[in-house]
Amino acid sequence: MTSSHRCDAKSQTPGAKTPDPSGGLFGSIKMGWKVVFGTKRGATHQERIEAYYQSQASFYNESRKRILHGRKELWEQLPVPDDGVWIDFGGGTASNFEFLGESIGRLSKVTLVDLSDTMLKMAREHIARNAWDNVTAVKGDATCYEAPMQVDIITFSYALTMIPNWFDAIDNAFKLLKPGGRIGVVDFYVSRKYAKPFRQHSWLTRNLGMFGRDINNIFVSPDHLPYLAQRFETENLCETFGKFASLPLFRTPYYRFIGRKPMGEVARDDGPERAE
C-alpha cells in the first residue's frame, strides 16, 4: 500500500436532505424493505438484475441519494485527464457524472456499461438531457467487457456488491486500464475478522453485513478491499459509515478506494491464479 488514509468522520451524501419519497422514518422503512426484499427472480444474473431494477426504477435516483454515500466525493477526487477515456461499470442511471460538472467535457470518451435495460434507458435519457455528446451507455457485463482502447479511469459505484463474480470484474478493470491508470470504487463492505491494515468492524457489524448475502443479491464482502489493495497501488482510501435513509442509529459501513495500476504492469494482467 503506497499511501492511504482513513476518514473517520461520519459521512452523509451532500444533498441527501432533499425531500424525497423515502424521506421520514416510515418512508425509510418502506424504501429499505423494497431495496432489500425487491423482486430478484430469474435464471441468470442478468435476469435477476433486470427484475430487480424494473421494480426500483421509479424511485431509484431519489432514494439512493439517502443510502449510497461517498459517490460525489469519489467522482470529485478522481483527476480528470484531458482527452481521457473513462469507463463506469454498473453505471446505472449515469447520474454520478453530474458530479464532474464542466470537467466532463475534457474527456474524449466516457462509456457507461450496465447489464440492465431499465437502467440503460434511464442513463440514455440522462445523457441526452445533459447533452453529454462524449458519453455513451452500452449493454455489457463488467466481468468480460472489452474496450477498443486502453482506459485512463474505471469506476465501480455500488456495483461490485451487485456482481457475484466481482473478482473477475476487478481483474477485467485491471486488464483494460493503461499502466498508471486509476480505478475508483465506492461500495458497502464489512471487514475481515482480523482486518489490519484496514479498519476493524465489530462482530455485530460484520455479521449483520454478511446476513444480507442470503436475502438479496447484494454480495457484501470482506474481500473486495484487500483484493483491490493487492492488485492496485492504493492512492486514497476512506473507510467510514453512512446513514441508511432516515433510520435512526442504523449505519452502513462503506469504503472509497482510489488505486493506480502499477507502471509497466503487463504480465499480471490476468490476475493471480485462483482455484475454480
Ligand X SMILES: C[S@@+](CC[C@H](N)C(=O)[O-])C[C@H]1O[C@@H](n2cnc3c(N)ncnc32)[C@H](O)[C@@H]1O
Distance CA 115, CA 49 (A): 7
Among positions 71, 126, 206, 261, the unique one binding ligand X when judged by CB under 6 A: 71
Q: Which of 20, 141, 235, 239 binds ligand X (CB under 6 A)?
A: 141
| 84 touches 106 (CB < 8 A) | yes
For position 137 contacting ligand X by CB under 6 A, the verdict is no
Answer yes or no whether residue 257 interacts with ligand X by CB under 6 A.
no
* Cα–Cα distance measured from residue 35 to residue 21, given in angstroms and rounded to the nearest whole number: 13
* Residue where the block lists cell 493506480: 260
Exactly one of 119, 127, 137, 153 binds ligand X (CB under 6 A); which one? 119
Among 40, 53, 237, 241, binds ligand X (CB under 6 A): 53
In the sheet where 177-188 sits, what is the strand order? 135-139, 109-114, 85-89, 151-157, 177-188, 251-260, 233-243
Based on the shown chain and the rule CB under 6 A, indicate whether residue 91 belongs to the binding site for ligand X: yes
Task: Compute how many other C-beta atoms are within 10 angstroms of the C-beta atom of residue 226.
Answer: 15
Q: Single out the residue of 116, 172, 234, 246 in contact with ligand X (rule: CB under 6 A).
A: 116
The site that binds ligand X (CB under 6 A) totals a number of residues, namely 23
253 binds ligand X (CB under 6 A): no
DSSP string for residues in 68-114: -TTHHHHHHHS---TT-EEEEET-TTSGGGGGGGGGGGG-SEEEEEE
Which parts of 155-214 interact with ligand X (CB under 6 A)? 157-159, 162-163
Residues that bind ligand X (CB under 6 A): 49, 53, 64, 68, 71, 89-92, 96, 113-116, 119, 141-143, 157-159, 162-163
